Amino acid sequence: MVSYRTPLGRARGLGSAKHGAGHWVSERISSIALVPLVIWAVYGVLRLAAGDYGFAVHWVQQPLNATLLVLTLAISFWHMQSGMRVVVEDYIHKALTKSALLLLNLFVCGLAGALAIFSILKVALGGA
C-alpha cells in the first residue's frame, strides 16, 4: 500500500520531545543552589548538636534559619530524587521493577520532604 504521508510526517513525534535536557539541567541548578545551602547546613548541625531541645526550637524559629532550612530540605529532596532516578535507570532494566523503584523513589522523597518541611514550619510558626 502506498503511503501518502510525507517523510517529515512519518518522523514527527518519534524523536526528541524537546525536553531531553530538562532533567540534566534541573540536576545542575539544584546542585548549584545546594553548594552554599549545604555549607550553611553543616554549620547548623554543629550549632544544633551542641544545644538542647530549647535551643533547637529557638534556632528554628529564627526567620532566616527557618527559610534556609526549608530551602535546603526542598532542594535536597528534589536533587536526591533526580540522582536516585538515574541510578535506578542505569542499573535496573526490568520494566516493571524499574517503574516500581522509580515510583518508590519519588514517593519516599516526596513524603519525607513534605513531612520534614511541615515539621519545620510547625516549629517555626510556634506550634511546638
Partner 1 sequence: MTEASSTPRERPVSPHLVTGGLGSPPLWRWHITMWTSILHRATGVALYVGALIAAVWAIALAEGPDAYALFKSLLGSIPGKVVMFGLTVCVFYHLANGVRHLVWDTGHGLDVKSANASAIVVFAFAAAATLAIWGIAGMTGAL
Q: Which is nearer to partner 1, 11 or 111 (CB)?
A: 111
Q: Which is nearer to partner 1, 11 or 24 (CB)?
A: 24
Angle at 84 between CA 83 and CA 85, to 5 degrees: 90
Question: Helices 53-61 and 95-124, interaxial angle, to 10°?
Answer: 90
Q: Which is nearer to partner 1, 17 or 50 (CB)?
A: 50
Question: Which chain residues interact with partner 1 by CB under 8 A?
Answer: 28, 31-32, 34-35, 38-39, 42, 46-47, 49-50, 52-53, 56-57, 60, 69, 73, 76-77, 80, 83-84, 87, 108, 112-113, 115-120, 122-123, 127-128
